[in-house]
Structure 1
Amino acid sequence: MLNPLVRRVLGSALLLGAASAFAQAQEITLPLKEAWFEGQIVHYVSTDISDPGIARKQGINYVPALADTLKPGMPVERAYKFPGDEQATVLPSIPRPVGGANADATYSPLWVLVMVRWKPGVTPHTLTSEEAVLAAEEKGEVELTRTKIVANWPVVRARGAALQGVH
């Protein structure tokens, strides 16, 4: 058994070594996901979701408390997700522009998922905007199901602008 002073010195040395290693690790890599916004592809990162199954499938954080953001007045918009991943998600808003100059005070990286399912007999085609999704619903081509699943998907690249470090 180590004497208490030696244990403290060794513990401090381990903490300093860990802090030094942490300070050197200044970048991480997250997979970029594609989404449609007003006919253009934008990119986001998926870090957290309030659904345990999706969290496991995507390898992201399961955060049940995100569902608490569905209270009235909270800044949560719809994200149109195709459950079979037949196409990229459709987002109704993005920061304008991406980064510190964003002038859209209503943008939030929190999204309530609306599942988009093609109706039988309809040939799927790519929907590239919220307007296209809603028009397809109006024509009877798709069924929209609002869930209580909230995702944290910050948009990191759009319209030629990107957050620092996004390649």
Structure 2
Amino acid sequence: MPALATRHALGALLMLGATAGWTADEVSLPLKEAWFEGQIVHYVSTDISDPGIAKKQGINYVPALADTLKQGMPVERAYKFPGDEQATVLPSIPRPVGGSNADPTYSPLWVLVMVRWKPGVTPRTLTSEEAVLAAEDKGEVELTRTKIVANWPVVRARGAALQGVH
């Protein structure tokens, strides 16, 4: 269902463009970088349940996304650094990206976990969920789970990409 919702959201953007007088039949969205198991992957950020982040990033504010936490829908953690000192760390991706995804647990919906370096610790780039959790175990970072849910579909990873992603 979440992937279907993402397709509907992109389709709605295309239809909105048609009604607004746009002539293009494609939409360009900026790719954002994230870390997954030591490799950079790319996602698009379309919707979030936090109004401040929505305004800052120029994406849709969708308060209803937070309801997914109450409804028990599949939502993974995304480790976000609030100062944007590094790319977000994702614990899962579609394997592979596209129609052949064999990971039934992957969802483009993420609950944000804020990662803050503790005073006196020299920050370094954390490139996997394991690295984030190890830094927490060593007392180097503080993890704060929020109730903010984001719709961030992974569109390019490990040499594969969705059609139209360049």
The TM-score bracket by the shorter chain reads 0.7 to 0.9
CA RMSD, 1 decimal: 1.7
Determine the structure 1 residue equivalent to 2:45: 46
Determine the structure 2 residue equivalent to 1:98: 97
Matched, 1:150 2:152: no
Unpaired runs of at least 5, structure 2: 1-16
Letter in 1 for 2:154: V
CA shift digits 1:35-85 (9 cap, x unpaired): 000000000000000000000000000000000000263100000000000
Determine the structure 1 residue equivalent to 2:66: 67
Determine the structure 2 residue equivalent to 1:35: 34
Distance 2:51 2:120 in 1: 32
Q: Measured at CA, do residues 19 and 132 of structure 1 come closer, stay the same or move farther in structure 2, by a change above 3 Å?
A: closer
User: % of aligned pairs identical?
Assistant: 91
Structure exhibiting the larger radius of gyration computed from Cα positions:
1
Determine the structure 1 residue equivalent to 2:11: none
Distance 1:21 1:56 in 2: 21
Q: Tell me the secondary structure at the aligned position of residue 54 of structure 1.
A: helix
Letter in 2 for 1:32: L
Return the offset for 1:25.
1.9
TM-score (norm 1): 0.86
Q: Measured at CA, do residues 92 and 57 of structure 1 come closer, stay the same or move farther in structure 2, by a change above 3 Å?
A: same
Determine the structure 2 residue equivalent to 1:14: none
1:2-17 to 2 correspondences below 5 Å: none
Distance 2:161 2:86 in 1: 23
Return the offset for 1:24.
4.5
Distance 1:70 1:113 in 2: 12
How many correspondences in the alignment?
150
Matched, 1:136 2:135: yes
Q: Measured at CA, do residues 23 and 124 of structure 1 come closer, stay the same or move farther in structure 2, by a change above 3 Å?
A: closer
